[in-house]
Structure 1
Amino acid sequence: MKQSKEVLGKPIISIFAGKEIGKVKNFVINPDLRSIEFIIVQNDQWDFGIKAVPFKLVEGLGDYAVTIDSESAVIDLADIPIANELLSKNIQIKGTRIISRKGHHLGQISEYYFDPETGKILGCILDKPDAPSVLPEAAVITFGKEITVISDEGDQPLVSDEAFRNEKIETEPAAIEETTIAQEPVSSAVDELDLEELIGKTLSANLYDPSGELIAAEGSVITAEIVNQTKAMGSNKALELALKAAE
């Protein structure tokens, strides 16, 4: 479990190139999935466009850096329709007011916790140092641009930071197991259905294998051979191909 401030500003390292490709500038949040969808990359040498890494292609969020396989994991958000939609919503979570369904005001969110493996938002921190200050994600109805709406169930939805952390530590193994089981059919669906529809489209960026070798260059037409080769590399690489496919 991490807070967003623990990742913002950290360098992003390409494992296979062995170099820094930029820094974490911000997050793109999907309010429907309640998770971080993309990590926006800051690199002053890039002239235009908003570049980002899909959270699913992040290898690790360490104390020093964020790691990805290669620079090919970085995409232009202008090429991804869902990314443009999420950018227009501009959900930041931090700075929003918490309002209950019946109109009661609980305070303002100053920070949030998320799962470093999945990007899922786990809880929101309020600026209340002398009182329970963490709002569990389960109490949230809507993450909005200006207001986070919560349910009125329970007299006090806020818990102490210590109690919240302890609860997450105790439930973490079960949550990981549950997530793994739930994701298996999703990965299968990507491999068996979505990739077949990409044949005939072109690549908007270079595609590399896990060792850093070039599979297909930018502008190449996606063939059945490329699809099958990508499928064999697992769901993360399949997602990368889908994201880099252009009409």
Structure 2
Amino acid sequence: MKQTKEVLGKPIISILAGKEIGKVKSFVINPEQRSIEFIVVQNDQWDFGIKAVPFKLVEGLGDYAVTIDSENAVIDLADIPIANELLSKNIQIKGTRIISRKGHHLGQIAEYYFDPATGKILGCMLDQPDTPFVLPEASVITFGKEITVISDEGEQPLVSDEFFRQAMSGIEPASVGEAAVTQEPVSSAVDDLDLEELIGKTLSASLYDPAGELLAAEGSEITAQLVNQAKAMGSNKALELALKAAE
């Protein structure tokens, strides 16, 4: 799990050429897939166009550099229809306001976590440096240009940064360049959780299905039926249930 600030500005190295081809300038977000689609390359010697590396062609995101197999991984975004569409949407995530489905304002996103193996966005950090809170991706309905819309009201979806890191620590990222990116990045973390242990506990916040319909209200007891419902809705919803289980 990484934050964007750990990657921005780092050199991009071609493994076969053994040279630096540029630096990480920014990211192109796919809001529907909730992931980083392209890494934009900065190279002052290039005359025109926006050059980028598809995230799936990244070999590694190291402490010093981002590595790719060769310069052939760098493409001109003008040649890719989906890239033009994503660029026009201009989804940045950082700097957007968090608004609940019912119209409550929770704050502003300062940073976000993503899976270095897939580019999948995992959670968003609020602009509160003294008391860092994270909004898990499972609570997000829409990543918009100006506003991130979430399903719950008030501060219920938020968890501490420390708790979020602990909950996600079960992720074992595969090689970034591997094709097996269809697996949900939170799946291994959920596999390590015994959700049956949550039965009998209470919810610290309301739980909604992907359509925004209430599954169980805040303060409700977690039942075997609710656990099974969450599992059936996928890894993200199962993790959300675990995050909202009161100790």
TM-score using structure 1 length:
0.69
Q: Does 1:116 align with 2:116?
A: yes
Are 1:137 and 2:137 an aligned pair?
A: yes
Aligned partner of 2:91 in structure 1 is 91
Deviation at 1:72, TM superposition (A): 0.4
Separation of aligned partners in 2, 1:139 and 1:47: 42
- Check conservation: 2:13, 2:19, Cα contact below 8 A: yes
Partner of 2:82: 82
Correspondence 1:1-247 to 2 at 5 A? 1-131=1-131, 133-152=133-152, 156-170=156-170, 172-173=171-172, 180=180, 182=182
List, as ranges, runs of 4+ consecutive aligned residues in structure 1 with deviation greater than 4 Å.
Answer: 179-183
Contact 2:105 2:154 in 1 (8 A): no
- Displacement, 1:131? 3.6
Measured in 1, the distance between the counterparts of 2:155 and 2:116 equals: 30
Structure showing the higher helix proportion among its residues = 1
**Residue segments in structure 1 that go unaligned for 5+ positions in a row:** 184-247
**Amino acid across the alignment from 1:94:** K
Q: Distance between the aligned counterparts of 2:181 and 2:8, measured in 1?
A: 30
CA contact (8 A) 1:132 1:158 kept: no
| CA displacement at 1:140 relative to structure 2 | 0.2
Task: Give the conservation status (yes or no) of the 8 Å contact 1:49–1:76.
Answer: yes
CA RMSD of superposed structures (Å) = 1.8
Which whole-Å CA distance do the structure 2 matches of 1:135 and 1:117 have between them? 21
Equivalent position SS for 2:9: coil
Q: Cα distance, 1:129 vs. partner?
A: 3.2
Instruction: Normalising by structure 2, report the TM-score.
Output: 0.69
Shift of 1:127: 1.5
Contact 1:97/1:147 (CA < 8 Å) preserved in 2? yes
